[in-house]
Chains A and B, each alone.
Chain A
């Protein structure tokens, strides 16, 4: 136990050291702190975006869903988000550079010439980021507690990890996240490959024999059921996550930090290969199905660690724990920084317009511990499986898609009122479903199952688009001035 905890502590120390020295020799203005002075080349952009794939959701949630849901977990390796990213992120980057934008809300505020829309996007973004940060903190507690064989209280771990995150985010901002992503990515790839290859061979004699053994004990577990997590749920979830990936406030901001549009295009092409490593996490979850039976509900997230602690000595468990720890604090630091920037620049600034940019920078930095404390409160008081929280967050941020995509069309069909109404309706549907647990099959029992099973976030997005278009038609004349501004922007993008 002492050995595994020691290894985890060493990696936490290295991450903290790298995170803090990352800002050396740089004048940490708000632009440096949030978007790295827009100077990151292909490698750092790759590491930041790749870091977004390997969060604790990937480490614990994907293996947990494979363990609990079988074939429905395969959606995690869908790579469609990068197809969209290839076309969309260079446009977002070019517009962000042109107007020196620092947050996702800045984009909406500028594109639709509406401060109140910027504030709405900031509030929805914060509402999505907090549960996403809670996922990282919950995962952090599970990982270190399990890797220490239960000797360390998850709450203590979460506090230590959060303090480390706060320290290097306040000092180095996105530079800290980028440098710690380097060590994280090498460690996680090594651990994932090792576990995904070793466990199926050790317990079943190979990868195909593992699937055959599962199919023999649980027939049909590796395909999609006719109802519930069916093909229509699967496809709509893939679509939802592909549309939402770059709509998270922290990934949206990460695109601003690129050096060029081509760096983002190359990144979009290569990331699916990196995501392929998630396949090996699926193997780990599958290996656990017959070896550590009986995990149910939120406990399925423990599958990876239950089978690891049962199989390996404390040295290897320590390295697995260290990789897991870094999957929590690297994305967690990006989320914290983005949330703090949104709060300072797009919530505080509209309330107190006389605030200077220097003051905004100070407010953003000192918002970091405040946001962390809010996330800690929800971490210690909330429940729920990691993947369900993850999909709820996606449901919220995906509501931004119509407004972003339409802002790059030659003639934007949406008005600011239409965008506002669409986001409000979409977010309300997702929030209502998340708080009541309602499901289409209960509300409309006579509807065919392929409609009942559609992911609620995708359904909310469809309603959002319809409402946005209808409201825009009726408010078109009111926003002639806005149209002129978005037309100017389109011309800029075409040049």
Chain B
């Protein structure tokens, strides 16, 4: 898999994983880190999504090209 394709795959996961989990959350419990389950799911994906995009940025060939 090329770096560019890996970037697209990680971006795809960062974009679609959070919405796909929403229909399965039917209850406020269990509270995790003091948050209702749906809100915790949203916050979790802020961090996971940001982490994925940091990885994307580090391996994205366009960034290197522009810097050079």
Contacts and interface: CB of A to CB of B under 8 A. Distances in A.
A77 B36 contact: no
Given A223-B25, A262-B63, A208 B34 contact: yes
A242 B54 CA distance: 19
A306 interface: no
Interface stretch (A26-34, A101-109, A273-281): A273-281
B34 A206 contact: yes
Interface residues of A, number: 43
10 contacts: A71-B36, A71-B38, A86-B11, A223-B27, A223-B28, A262-B66, A265-B60, A266-B57, A269-B54, A275-B46
Contacts of B61: none
Given A262-B63, A262-B66, A83 B11 contact: yes
A132 interface: no
Which label, helix, strand, loop or mixed, suits the secondary structure of the A interface? helix
Contact of B53 (A71, A223, A268, A276): A268
Contacts, number: 105
A279 B25 contact: no
Nearest to B29: A215
Nearest to B24: A231
A9 B68 CA distance: 48
Interface stretch (A11-19, A232-240, A362-370): A232-240
Contact of B35 (A211, A224, A239): A211
B39 interface: yes
Interface in A246-285: 260-262, 265-266, 268-270, 272-273, 275-276, 279, 282
A232 B28 CA distance: 18
B62 interface: yes
A82 B45 CA distance: 12
B26 to A, nearest CB: 6
Nearest to B13: A83
Interface in A111-166: none
Contact of A207 (B35, B37, B57, B66): B35
Given A79-B49, A211-B35, 10 more contacts: A71-B38, A77-B42, A80-B15, A80-B18, A86-B11, A90-B62, A212-B31, A269-B54, A272-B49, A272-B50
Contacts of A265: 57, 60, 63
Contacts of B57: 86, 265-266, 269
Contact of A223 (B31, B38, B42): B38
A328 to B, nearest CB: 26
B46 A84 contact: no
B25 A77 contact: no
A474 interface: no
B38 A84 contact: no
B31 A211 contact: yes
